[in-house]
Structure 1
Amino acid sequence: MAGLYDDAHVTRLTLAVRQLLPQWGLSPQTALHLLALSENATFLASDPDVPRQIVIRVHRPGYHSLAEICSELDWIAALKQDSRLILPATIAALSGERVISFEDQGQSRYVVASEFLEGVEPGPGTALIPGFRLLGAISARLHQHARTWQRPAGFTRKAWDYAGAFGENPVWGRWQDALDLTPEGREILSEAQECLGQRLAAYGQDPARYGVIHSDLRLANLLLRGEEIAVIDFDDSGFSWFVYDLASALTFCETEPEVPQMIQSWIEGYCEVHPLSGEDIAMIPSFLMYRRFTISAWISTHAETATARAAGLGQYTRETVEFARRYLSCEASPERNIYALWG
């Protein structure tokens, strides 16, 4: 990932995006502001002559294919049409194309624009507990749609299944390359992977519990809008277990003492829309463990990003090892209380 986050790269992308602005009918006076630089570079475009702001996302090279990006946009469009969820609409270019591209140092960079939604990112702490009830209901509606939606021909997205984290080519890299991982930590995580694999295999991938999900419902991808929550950034949407969306929502705060109450609120909100079985609920610790594995791998290849630095880099790895230690202890217990992870 070296070179994707330095100033020269940002300057190059900014100039390229500015040259593309006329494709959405934006003038040379448009102000461009870098919102985020992680998997992708995301800009806010504000034209003084246009009443709405738009978000322009430049996709990281070599991550999503054009077919995968179009599939993401297909699901968003279907959700906008068929559900009551608050999502940003895709903004096509004047040509009608939803995805445009430019060449950057010999690589094609895909670009998508969407509407800018007003809202505030939720903050951590006890205030999140009631919000997680609403998020549970939102998650259930996303999954309800995925269960019944007739996907268009050619629909393709990455899979957050066992191979997606532990196969020969894991989506975000190998957890074995996590920063500051010690031999003892590697041994504990290897044992946790084996246990997790057994749990996932026994749980299975029945369409009632496995399908297209958002898979990154963490706080940074939610916007509070009064009594409502908008969901943004479907870049990591793909095939996985529905309950995995809870684990993604708890990213970077899995070890906080309020988490059991947040989980309970999410379950209550979810069940207001669609029932969860005892098996579904019992798998929550395993999906949290899965998420710790994937994020540990992601941080090792994205150490230059603000997100990775905020997570603590090697500190995140050490916390993951401790989380795995507790996970193994809980999974070995006959009662398997899902809240025992927080002691």
Structure 2
Amino acid sequence: MLYHDAFLARLEGGLRSALPTWNIDETAGLSLLTISENATFMVDDAQGGGRKILRVHRPAYHSDEEISSELQWIEALREAGIIATPAPIHARDGRLLATFFDGETHRNVVAFEFMNGKAPDEAGDLARWYGHLGEISARLHAHSRAWSPPAGFTRKTWTFDTIIGPNAYWGDWRAALGLDDVGRSVLERVAARLQQETASFGTSPDRFGLIHADMRAANLLVDGDRLGVIDFDDCGFSWFAYDFAASISFMETEPFIPELMAAWLDGYARLAPLDPEQAAALPMLVMLRRMQLTAWIASHSETPTAQSMGAAYTAGTIDLADRYLAADFLKGVA
């Protein structure tokens, strides 16, 4: 269990030692917000302008260059007015990336402005917000197509191979919690189909480029009429339509998903309609994402998210795969 209490206390101590990097006193109030791939803390910097968000990166996942590239894209998106997202905070030496040592482990830390808001309520008008999200996605994708990244820009590429193939970044779906031989057979068949379908769909520049890749509800902040987007940690090169698949992470089997998909497409069309081939690919990409998350839960079993999902999520993936193979998943919505 990576994130046990003693580990978190040690992590907080290391992070406190890094606070002066941003001219924050080491005694400032510090509280853990979330644990997933990384650990995210809020610091109450009473002397330096209030709350700030600090993200401690998990080692051996993103390189220094990848993290710096994420922050460069965020700054470019903010400068162009594309999206409401917190600004990265430069350290007193001007850098965006800081480090501290946890024993022999080198840990990267980045800081962001605090943004007010809360995740959209599933019990409320979720479709309304997914309409806004579709419009935001269209603006972001248009920027991605036109933007010339700076020299040295590098982010991961998300394709079948790195999502659920032999070189998957988030682990092997075959290690899914509670997966038996019958379920494995179903998922093997759907994986083979997805490999063929993604290869046929291709990666031409009109449908493949730099995306957020994790605009799920937990990474959306509603404040009045504003929809903010946070957490670009997974941004990389993939299918533009994959941003919708990622946006319904962990709720793919809910009955309201077709409504969210229709709202997202309508919102996207306010800027430019998603072309028919990309719209028709949404169910395929949702199934691909679901299998990726099934692998993630198995390989990140120490996280609260994985522990809350468990084997029940695997069972839902198998049910979704059966429906996908029977062409009975999000049929007719796109």
> Shared topology, TM-score over 0.5?
yes
Q: 1:307 maps to what in 2? A: 305
In structure 2, C-alpha distance between the alignment counterparts of 1:260 and 1:97, rounded to whole Å: 44
**Given the alignment, which residue of 74, 96, 102 partners 2:72?**
74
Match of 1:321 in 2: 318
Deviation at 1:338, TM superposition (A): 4.2
Q: Deviations over 1:214-267 (max 9, x none)?
A: 100111100001111000000011111001100111111111111111100000
Structure 1 residue aligned with 2:205: 207
Residue matched to 1:190:
188
What SS does the corresponding residue of 1:322 show, helix, strand or coil?
helix
1:302, 1:211 → 2: CA distance? 27
Kept after mapping to 2: 8 A contact 1:165/1:174: no
> What is the identity, as a one-letter code, of the residue corresponding to 1:242?
F
1-side partners of 2:216 and 2:117: how far apart? 15
Equivalence for 1:337:
331
- 1:339 Cα deviation from its structure 2 partner: 4.3
Residues 44 and 53, structure 1, Cα contact 8 Å, conserved in 2: yes
Distance in 2, matches of 1:227 and 1:31, equals 30
- Quote the offset at 1:168 in angstroms: 2.9
Contact 2:131 2:263 in 1 (8 A): yes
Counterpart code for 1:323: L
**How far is 1:165 from its partner?**
2.0
Task: For structure 1, list consecutive stretches of 5 or more residues without a partner in the other structure.
Answer: none
- Separation of aligned partners in 2, 1:119 and 1:182: 41
Q: Deviations over 1:171-210 (max 9, x none)?
A: 1001011111010111100110111111111111111110
Please list the CA deviations of residues 42-73 of structure 1 after superposition, one character each: whole Å capped at 9, or x if unmatched.
Answer: 11010222223110111001110001101101
Any idea what SS the aligned residue of 2:50 has?
coil
Alignment of 1:184-263 (within 5 A): 184-263=182-261
| 2:283 paired with 1:285 | yes
Supply the AA of the counterpart residue of 2:238: S
CA RMSD of aligned residues (A): 1.5
Q: Quote the sequence identity (%).
A: 44
**Quick one: which amino acid aligns to residue 72 of structure 1?**
E
Larger mean CA deviation between 231-240 and 43-52 belongs to 43-52
Q: CA offset at residue 31 of structure 1?
A: 0.1
Cα distance in structure 2, aligned partners of 1:211 and 1:28: 41
Contact 2:212 2:243 in 1 (8 A): yes
> What is the alpha-carbon distance in structure 2 between the residues aligned to residue 285 and residue 262 of structure 1?
13
1:337: how far off?
A: 2.9
Amino acid at match of 1:337: K
Q: How does 1:115-134 map to 2 (within 5 A)?
A: 115-125=113-123, 127-134=125-132
Q: Distance between the aligned counterparts of 2:260 and 2:214, measured in 1? A: 17
The alpha-carbon deviation at position 130 of structure 1 amounts to: 1.1
Q: Please show how residues 56-135 of structure 1 align to structure 2 within 5 Å.
A: 56-125=54-123, 127-135=125-133
Unaligned runs of 5+ residues in structure 2 are none
Partner of 1:46: 44
How far apart, CA to CA, are the structure 2 residues paired with 1:85 and 1:239? 18
